[in-house]
Amino acid sequence: MKKHLSILFLLVFLGVSLKGQTEKLSYNVYYNWGFIWIDAGRLALTTNPDTLNSIPVVRLDGTGKSLNRWSWLFKLDDHYTSWCYPDSYNPLLATKNTLEGGYRINNLYQFNYADSVAYIRTEETRKPLTLDTLALHGILFDAQSAASKLRFVDVNTLNEGDTITLPILMDGLIHQQAIVFRGVDTLVMEKMPDYRALRFSAIVTGSKLFSSDDAIEVWISNDEKRIPLYIKADIAVGAVKIFYDKAL
């Protein structure tokens, strides 16, 4: 369940990058159960040009926290950082440090494309530190670099219903994440202008957390910025909804 929560929290909507330029975005997170709405947390997403071992990269940072008034019920304090090539979003280094409901996960992935290997360091609550080496067969993304790749996919090459599959390294395991392009919608949100938005859904077959196979949906602005605007995930009890707040 922890792995699926991380995919929900990061993979689909937590992609930050304006083609290597500085970008700062904020989001409000709500939990919806019937007629009850809970203002549950905040997201902050940033991207900045950086260097890693003298290599020009783009640094992607994602931070998610539950509001203090709900921390007694379910505390969430997640931090993700990825260093990627600016044009391809192929990751060089990625870290994940999360606390969700008392369960902690710390990951570090180092991608060595010259030797076609990834070095993996994983540590979880009630599990010992694990060091591993994984052979790379083609491109392998971490969650943030995959989400940024999705933001800037050439939709002119896609038809409604087409599927994009991204291989993603998550908690030491490779997930072949299927994402379906659902076409262009007009997105109407309270206190925000109407947007023409690209709509995608993520296939999460086999998860007990979600209520259907394509239960995660994301709307991305259909312009040069490609800002994630709205994310909705139908879960077994209620729904999680994330609304774009503003550029910081």
Point out the least confidently predicted range of 9-13, 177-181, 195-199.
9-13
At 75-90, the pLDDT tens digits run 889 899 999 998 888 9
Mean pLDDT of 187-208: 75
* Entry pTM: 0.82
DSSP 99-117: EETTEEEEEEEEEETTTTE
Rg (CA), the chain: 17
Nearest CA among 145, 144, 182, 148 for reference residue 163: 182
Parent domain of 18 = 2-247
Q: What is the pLDDT of residue 19?
A: 53
Say which residue, 6 or 197, is predicted with more confidence. Answer: 197
Mean pLDDT of 179-206: 82
pLDDT-above-90 percentage for the chain: 29
* pLDDT greater than 80 at residue 33: no
* pLDDT greater than 90 at residue 43: no
Nearest CA among 97, 88, 204, 106 for reference residue 146: 88
Nearest CA among 84, 66, 114, 98 for reference residue 170: 98
At 131-170, the pLDDT tens digits run 999 999 888 898 888 878 777 788 889 999 999 888 888 8
Which residues lie closer than 8 Å to 38 by C-beta, 6 or more apart? 30, 31, 32, 70
Mean pLDDT of 108-122: 94
Split into its structural domains, the chain has a count of 1
